[in-house]
Amino acid sequence: MVYLLSILVLGGLLAGLAVLLSVAESYLLDYGICTIDINSGERPIQVEGGQTLLSSLYSNQIFIPSACGGKGSCGHCKITVTSGGGPVLPTERPYLSRLEVRSNVRLACQVKVRQDIYVRIPEEFLNIKLFSATVESARELTYDIKEIRLRLKEPAEISYLPGQYVQVEAPSPDGPVFRAYSISSASAEPSVVELVVRLVPGGIASTYLHNLSVGDEVTFTGPYGEFRLSEDPSVELVCVGGGCGMAPIRNIIYSLYEKWPERSCWFFFGVRTRSDIFYLEQFKQLQRQFPDFQVVYALSEAHGDKQWDGETGFIHLAVDKYLEPGPRRQAFLCGPPLMIKAVTTVLREKGVDPEDIFYDEF
Ligand code: FES
C-alpha cells in the first residue's frame, strides 16, 4: 500500500513538474520567429517559436490529422521531420515503428518548434480545408445515436472520397478540441456533410454534437483518410460494421452504387439488440434496387426476441455463414478492435488478401 502510494505521489509530482516546465518554457524562453520549411521550399511559413508543430501548422491553415486534439494519444499526426525537430521523445515511441523512427517520422503534436525546422507533408494533407457549416437537421436514429446533417457555408462545397472523415471542432473549458467523425452521407451532394454520432457519456465532442439544434454553426476540417475504393468492377466489396462503424460504410456503399450499379457488395452490420438497429429499411430498399447488394444485420444479444427473425450472434459468425470463398474482394471494416480481429480472421480464411482488408478501429 505504502509502495503504491509512493508511486502515485511520485507520478503526480513528475506530471506536475512536466506541466510547470512547459508553462515556464512558454513564458521564459523566447525562440523568436522560426521558419517551417515544407516539402523543400514548396511552402515555407514563419511562426512564433515555442509552439508544437501541430498547432503552428494549424494556425497557418495546414491541417494534420489528429483524433486526440494534440494530446499525444491517437498517433494520427505523423509527418516527416527531416531536420530541426530534436530527438524522438518517449511520448512518441509507442506510436512509431522502428522503420518510422529511422525514416524521421514524428508526431507533430509532440515536436516543438524551437528553431528552423524542415518537414515533409503529403500533398493530400495540404489540400485539407477549414469549413463552416450550419445544422440543417438533427434526428435521433436510436436512443444514443443521432444523424446530423450539415449544410456547408464557407467553402460552400467539399470534395471527398468514399470513407473519408472530418474533424469537428467542439468547445471545451480548456479550449477547442477536435474529434474525428466519418462522413456518412448517402448521396454525393458536395454542399452537405452528414455525420452519425453516438453519445459517449462525458464525451466533449459527442455531447456538443448531440446538443446542436437546427441553424447552429459548426466548424470542421477535412477531408481526411486513406481508404480508396477499388475501381476494378470485378472486385466484390465486403463492408462489416458495428455501432457507429455504420458512418463510413453507408457513404462507401451509396457511393459505390451511384457510380457502379452492377457492382457486387455485401454489408454485415452487428448490433446488440433491436433498439440499436438503424438504417435497416434504407439498406433493404437499396437491396431491392440493386440485386448484387446483400445486407445482413445480426443481433448479439437477441435473448429470444420473438420480433427478430434475422441473424443472431456476433457479426463475424454471419460473415462466416454467408461469404463463400470466391471472387477477389476488398473489405472495409469499422468497429471495435475485437470485432475487427474476429472478422479479419474469417475474411482471411475465405481467401481475402490481407492487403485488401482495410479497417477503422474505435
Ligand atoms: S494528435 Fe493525436 S497523437 Fe498527435
Q: 196 φ, ψ to 5°?
A: -115, 120
Closest-CA residue to 320 (of 291, 346, 358, 300) = 346
φ and ψ at residue 242, rounded to 5 degrees: -145, 140
Hey, how many other C-beta atoms are within 10 angstroms of the C-beta on 257? 16
Tell me if 74 CB under 6 Å of ligand 1.
yes
**What are the distances in angstroms from CA 94 to CA 55, 87, 259?**
21, 15, 40
Instruction: Compute the distance from residue 140 Cα to the ligand 1 centre, in Å.
Output: 31
pLDDT at 326: 80
**pLDDT (tens place) for every residue of the chain, 362 residues total:** 555 455 445 545 544 555 555 555 655 567 899 999 999 988 899 999 999 999 999 999 999 988 777 889 889 899 999 999 999 999 999 999 999 999 999 999 999 999 999 999 998 899 999 999 999 999 999 999 999 999 999 999 999 999 999 999 999 888 888 888 999 999 889 999 999 999 999 999 999 999 999 999 999 999 998 888 988 999 999 999 987 789 999 999 999 999 999 999 999 999 999 999 999 999 999 999 999 999 999 999 988 888 999 999 999 999 999 999 888 999 999 999 999 999 999 999 999 999 999 998 87
pLDDT value at residue 38: 96
Q: How far is CA 7 from the centre of its chain?
A: 35
Three cell numbers written together for 301: 444479444
CA 91 to centroid of ligand 1, rounded, Å: 10
CA-73 nearest atom, ligand 1: 3
Count of all residues that appear for the chain in the document = 362
Region at 71 (left for phi over 0; alpha for psi -120 to 50; beta for the rest): alpha
- pLDDT for the residue 160: 94
DSSP 216-232: -EEEEEEEE--------
The pTM score is 0.84
Cα(160)–Cα(208) distance, rounded to whole angstroms?
24
Q: Is the CB of 79 under 6 A from ligand 1?
A: no
Cα separation, 225 vs 246, in Å, equals: 16
In 3D space, the residue among 65, 106, 58 whose CA is nearest the CA of residue 82 turns out to be: 106
Of residues 87, 116, 196, the one with CA closest to residue 148: 196
218: amino acid identity, one letter:
V
φ, ψ (nearest 5 deg) of residue 138: -145, 110
Spacing, Cα 64 to ligand 1 middle (Å): 9
Whether residue 65 has its Cβ less than 6 Å from ligand 1: no
Give distance in angstroms: CA of 121 to centre of ligand 1. Answer: 15
The predicted pLDDT at position 305 comes to 85
Question: What pLDDT shows up at residue 20?
Answer: 56
Task: Report strand pairing: 78-83 vs 105-107.
Answer: antiparallel
For a mutational test of ligand 1's pocket, the pick from 66, 106, 167, 221, i.e. the residue with the most ligand atoms closer than 8 A to its C-beta, is 66
SS3 126: helix
